[in-house]
């Protein structure tokens, strides 16, 4: 795990990241990582949205990206930015909710303040921002 602190525009940004092996263990490890970091940063996630959203992004990355993934958290003011990197260049595409596995991006859209995709050289980063108390 990497953790760091960068200053920018007078507002400190605290960040941490971890690489996950892929497979079933990734969600458990992601959940532990997010929970530990929120505690270390003394951030509250009363509804559990950050945990739900992080696990959803990791699940999608493992399922559709194949192999290992990385998750990065950045504390920004009153919120949290979650970034998940995988090896697939294919951007996520929403599916109807009644299709098996079709709830994920709808959930991300509903629970996050905003989200998006950044293409990379060897895959992509799916990111979101959520507010915390």
74 forms beta bridges with: 15, 81
**Confidence band (pLDDT; 50, 70, 90) for 118?**
very high
- Kind of pairing, strands 2-8 and 11-20? antiparallel
Name the pTM for this structure.
0.85
- Rounded (10°) CA dihedral 94, 129, 50, 90: 30
Is 2 inside a domain boundary?
Answer: no
- 3 within domain boundaries: no
Segment 18-39, tens digit of pLDDT: 999 988 899 999 999 999 999 9
Can you give the residue range of the structural domain that contains 120? 12-131
Q: What is the CATH number of the domain that holds 70?
A: 3.30.565.10
Name the nearest CA neighbour of 112 among 91, 88, 85, 84: 84
As for how many domains the chain has, the answer is 1
53-109 per-position pLDDT tens digit: 999 999 999 988 888 999 999 998 888 999 999 999 998 876 655 555 556 788 899
Please count the other Cβ atoms lying within 10 Å of the Cβ belonging to residue 11. 10
Contact call for residues 85 and 63 (beta carbons, < 8 A): no
């Amino acid at each position: 795990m990497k953790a760091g602190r960068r200053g920018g525009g007078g507002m400190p940004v605290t960040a941490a990241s971890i690489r996950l092996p892929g497979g079933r263990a990734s969600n458990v490890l992601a959940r532990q990582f997010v929970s530990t970091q929120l505690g270390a940063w003394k951030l509250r996630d009363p509804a559990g949205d950050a945990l739900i959203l992080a696990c959803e992004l990791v699940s999608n990355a493992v399922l559709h990206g194949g192999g290992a993934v990385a998750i990065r958290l950045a504390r920004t003011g009153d919120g949290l930015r979650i970034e998940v990197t995988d090896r697939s260049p294919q951007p996520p595409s929403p599916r109807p909710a009644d299709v098996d596995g079709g709830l994920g991006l709808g959930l991300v859209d509903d629970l996050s303040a905003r989200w998006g995709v950044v293409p990379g050289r060897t895959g992509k980063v799916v990111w979101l921002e959520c507010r915390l108390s």
